[in-house]
Structure 1
Amino acid sequence: MRPRLINHTAGRHAAITPTATGWAAIHQNPGTVRVYDPHLDTITTIPAPDRRTQITADTQHIAISSTHGLTVTTHDGTTRWHRTWTETGETHPNTWSTPHCHLADGTLWTHLQNAAQIITYDPATGRELDRHALPDAGNGWFVEHPHQDALALNIVVCPIDHQQAWQLRLDNGRISAHRLPDAGYLAGFLPGNRYFSTGPDGLAVQHADGHDQIRRDVDDLPDSEPGRHLSEAAVVIPDSHILIAVSTEEDHGYEQHLLLSADLRYHSTVEYPQPRKRNSLRAASGHGRWLTYDDTRGVLELWELDGHLDEHGIPGQLSLFP
């Protein structure tokens, strides 16, 4: 399957993430926050506090999590409010990793990794809306729901070094957190309150209550090569298909991207104009598009499926719109 290239932009990028506007990233030379629309055209550019920065954005605000604390600005860079990590209640803030945040439906979600807490803020005023304690501390990152009616939080628990995934919702303004069973790394949501995850045991699709599990090992996929490794990077595109990255030691730093159905059937291998470097799969949106990044060339590229995948065809069959 050959995808359609929608757009590309040059420059060293980091902290690439989907947002309510489309996308956002840190442009490293010079250090700026770039907010993009769904077509990867630049909406705005503002200075980045430092390079260890996580960002999120909506149509009105940009939230920046840096070693200096949590800052919310307008799109022209005007600061609306700022909190140091000590003021947020974060314990032992560090300089090598900053808490993740996410703007969704007029709420700013923030995960305090050392304090093991989730906070919601009003992005316009900085007023704390709610705070929820988690059982374990650890580095975390948010995964958005394509319809923004739920949010997921992945946590790597330290020093135990195992994964947790939580489904988050707001119930009358209060945070509701439901731990997802045996989730591994949650990569995205699927219709019917299901989710897709990757982990040491391979691939999994299951309902949020733990029922109706579908599991598959990478070695079970067609044309699987011995020693094939599954990258932690995987995305759901659009709501009913999954893109995973696999590689072997003989790939010399390159990887393949495989397209699967929601029941983990193999559809096809993505054929890009140029081979993809390892760890190039970065993010997906609810519009059936995804980003790849080549750190050697310094190019961020936006792709979409060039046609319609026929769920009723045989595995691997691609049916195109006329």
Structure 2
Amino acid sequence: MSGISPIRTTPIRPRPAGRWVLAALAALTLAATPAATAAAAAAAPDDPVTLAIAHRSPFSCGKTFYANNWSGGHNPSGSIDWQSYNGDAINGENVRATAAGTATFDDEGATSYGKWVQIVHSDGTRTRYAHLATMVRAPGQTMSVSRGTVIGTVGSTGGSSAPHLHYEQRTASGVVDTSPTVDGVTVFLGQKKAVTSTNGCGGSSNPYTPAEVCGSGFSVIDSAALGTVGRTYLLYNAGNGNNCVVTLKLTNLGTPTAVSAFLEPQGASRTTDSGNFSYYAGPVKRSAPGTCVKWGGSVGSTSYTSPFEHCG
């Protein structure tokens, strides 16, 4: 079992250190010579971790749809088909920018993408949204968008046989990411995952994602809304059989307020992380391969507790 100690001296959560932090420390150490400083500055723009953009779901806050990364026959490979989930029809849903950038609108008629939008983000990476029923600008026009800006609605234009949203994440050079991540959920080639949107929730976006908090190897397998004030997530690491729960705030970001997260394998004790935190509670990690778990959390007075589930 691993998790956060219940005794903490500060509620402020620093962003988990990445490779750019280590590089920065190394650069400070080597800064005694002008040559080292110049070399570090020249290398920085090419660091993909430094330039990474965190994408939200392309739908409104709280909406859940399937993200289907087809393993064969999908063009281009690695693109996502967003489809209806659990009776919630996707046709006609607002499509929102997953991150800020400059949007360009296009219409290929009855072929290929049909009505589609490309957004170029601050680091040069791109996202594409295709088969739209409507767009908020005419073909050929551009506009600056923030994360959450509505750019169109889901439809079935172009080479589409049924309403869905075709979505791509591309590098600055145009290469498709075959394992795109949205709202902290990585959808690998051949996978189909239900993703719940936090795009625009609470009028502000938490800078952290569930997978970032839990760490490498964890993927979201379930989540529950805490009204409009937060969302609690259950993640699983298939490599080691560990579960992880984290609760993200969607309001009062940066201000310490009451937040909690808990995880309870069936037949074992419950582990809880609670306190006044600025962005999230957790991660709460427990090993529970082949065991049902009860999980949940709270933000303020709004809470969620699951039944024992996810027993595989």
TM-score (norm 2): 0.33
Greater strand share, structure number:
1
Greater helix share, structure number:
2
**Which structure is higher in RCO with an 8 Å CA cutoff and minimum separation 6?**
2
Larger Rg: 2
TM-score (norm 1): 0.32
